[in-house]
Amino acid sequence: MPKEPRSRFCRRCPGHPQQNQCVHTKAGLAYLALLDAQVESLEAAAAAPLGADIPDPTDVSIDPLLRTPSQGNQVPRDPTPSPAPKPIRIRVAPGTYGYVEGCTRGAHQLRIARTRALRLGQGDVKQASSRFRREIRNLIIRCERLSVETGCWLLLNAHHPHAHQASSIYASPRLRDEAMTETHDICSRFAKTTSVLVAARRTRAKELVTKLADMTEEKERALRDVDDVNEQLGKQQTELACMRVILDKLRAQGVQIPDDVEGDD
């Protein structure tokens, strides 16, 4: 009895691939190893920067009978990873975000370009006051570092309009040593000025609140007057309607009533 011809397809692998392409034969293992090498080469080429020397993954000759790579062309199994590209820093032209206002050097204005866009003030008073307390600490730390490392005269006075505490003050060591009395006078004048400003804000707010209360009371009084007028007008209209009913009954009884008695509506 003649034997059946041997099938070229593997019956144990899903999809029944050819035996020289499955894991159950030596030729299939070599073929799969070659595919893995080509995939790794493609991944290395995709991750490498432009201009790098990456071997061509298609430059591999395969024996058509055994489906194995020839000895002349070998693909590296573990390609060297390429270095990560450096981040690109975009330089902004000076003055793009404007210049710092209120900065002078002597009698002349000092032009200092902003490094970022100036954000608008926070509308919430509580959040603004909380941020001021948080940021003023960082600013004082930087002022101390600058004054100690450079030996400069430095004085910082800051106060928030809605703060319930005194002003935040920092004076550099050299300024305290050489002009303690003058520094104390400057800080006292600043504290007095901010106290006056806070009191003025409170006085202005009190005036506005009083004026608003007066306007509200006047509005309520006017509304009450309107209600009284409407009530009187309703009573008059009711009386007029009753009089017309009586006149209609008299006419029905034959009583002669002059035409000018009803009047105009």
Residue 19: closest CA among 32, 3, 37, 35: 32
Q: What is the pLDDT of residue 82?
A: 63
**Which three-class secondary structure string do you get for the chain?**
CCCCCCCCECCCCCCCCEHHHCCCCHHHHHHHHHHHHHHHHHHHHHHCCCCCCCCCCCCCCECCCCCCECCCCCCCCCCCCCCCCCCCCCCCCCCCCCECCCCEECCEECCCECCCCCCCCCCCHHHHHHHHHHHHHHHHHHHHHHHHHHCCCCEEEECCCCCCCCCEEEECHHHHHHCHHHHHHHHHHHHHHHHHHHHHHHHHHHHHHHHHHHHHHHHHHHHHHHHHHHHHHHHHHHHHHHHHHHHHHHHHCCCCCCCCCCCCC
The tens-digit pLDDT sequence of the chain (265 residues) is 445 445 677 777 776 677 777 777 888 788 778 877 777 776 766 666 555 555 554 454 444 444 444 444 444 555 566 666 666 666 667 778 888 888 888 888 888 888 888 887 767 788 888 888 889 999 999 999 999 999 999 999 999 888 878 889 999 999 999 999 999 999 999 989 988 888 887 787 778 777 888 888 888 888 888 888 888 888 888 888 888 888 888 777 777 776 665 555 4
Instruction: Outline where DSSP puts E strands in 160-251.
Output: 168-171
Q: What is the pLDDT of residue 50?
A: 54
> Quick one: how far is CA 254 from the chain centroid?
87
Q: What is the pLDDT of residue 260?
A: 63
